[in-house]
Chains A and B, each alone.
Chain A
Amino acid sequence: GENVEQHPSTLSVQEGDSAVIKCTYSDSASNYFPWYKQELGKGPQLIIDIRSNVGEKKDQRIAVTLNKTAKHFSLHITETQPEDSAVYFCAASYSGGGADGLTFGKGTHLIIQP
């Protein structure tokens, strides 16, 4: 089955700086890679996703890149703000986010220092 590794487990950055979280996956058949943000006491919320036919996707301060050959994808957050503090999860799926379910990384606790 799919295995997703995520690094780092904790990331502390100064407000206004950029943050990068990296993930690798094992199953070359995976074709859907979402990123979730989980705030304390809440469920994971989808912030951006990318499919295997795209190398990069951007949404305001958030961007995701995908390298299919190396089987890794990354989340980039620019101009970080205090409200970006949360746990971030990467995930991978074969069926494009459908019935097969998502395999999650172990999460990155992002801390934005004022």
Chain B
Amino acid sequence: DTAVSQTPKYLVTQMGNDKSIKCEQNLGHDTMYWYKQDSKKFLKIMFSYNNKELIINETVPNRFSPKSPDKAHLNLHINSLELGDSAVYFCASSQGLKGYTFGSGTRLTVV
């Protein structure tokens, strides 16, 4: 199936740990993104990558770092996790004027 897939779906971890969320798209899109959805359902962009170049870097802590080994992957690394990082993280991709396609999300819970 063509899609944006992200793993894991659920992630529970302790404060201070380092974790990664993986994302892959097989749609041939040239831009990939990470969005954060907070407890009030508000969706906000964190990063986007186009041809291995960071296009947008919103005001997120530098504990968050996107890494793109190739055009089809954009992983999210988070260092020194904090309670406030608990949220649902969505990966997405787009191609030019075509609409975004979102993954199914990773629910991160920091305890």
Measured CB to CB, the residues of A under 8 A from B are: 32, 34, 36, 38, 41-46, 49, 51, 87, 89, 96-104, 106-107
Contacts and interface: CB of A to CB of B under 8 A. Distances in A.
A46 B41 contact: no
A75 to B, nearest CB: 15
B42 A97 contact: no
Interface residues of B, number: 26
B42 A106 contact: yes
B25 to A, nearest CB: 12
B43 A87 contact: no
A104 B99 contact: no
Given A106-B40, A107-B41, A107-B42, A98 B102 contact: no
Interface in B54-85: 55-56
Interface in B1-20: 4
Nearest to A49: B99
Q: Which of A46, A98, A101, A103 has the most CB of B within 10 A?
A: A101
Task: List the 8 shortest-distance A-B pairs measured between CB atoms, nearest first.
Answer: A43-B102, A101-B45, A104-B43, A46-B99, A99-B55, A96-B97, A99-B50, A43-B104
